[in-house]
Amino acid sequence: MGKVRPSLVKRTARALLELYSSEASDDFEKNKELVDQYVYLKSKKLRNQIAGYLTHLVKLQRKESAEVESE
Q: pLDDT-based confidence at 1, cuts 50/70/90?
A: low
Looking at the predicted structure, is the pLDDT value of residue 3 above 80? no
Share of the chain above pLDDT 70, in %: 99
Give burial (CB, 10 Å; 0-12/13-18/19+) of 71: exposed
Chain segment 30-42, per-residue pLDDT in tens? 999 999 999 999 9
**Mean pLDDT (the chain, rounded):** 93
Across the range 36-49, mean pLDDT stands at 95
- Domains of the chain in start order, with CATH, are 8-70 (1.10.60.20)
Q: pLDDT-based confidence at 4, cuts 50/70/90?
A: confident
What's the rounded Cα separation, in Å, for the pair 49 and 54? 8
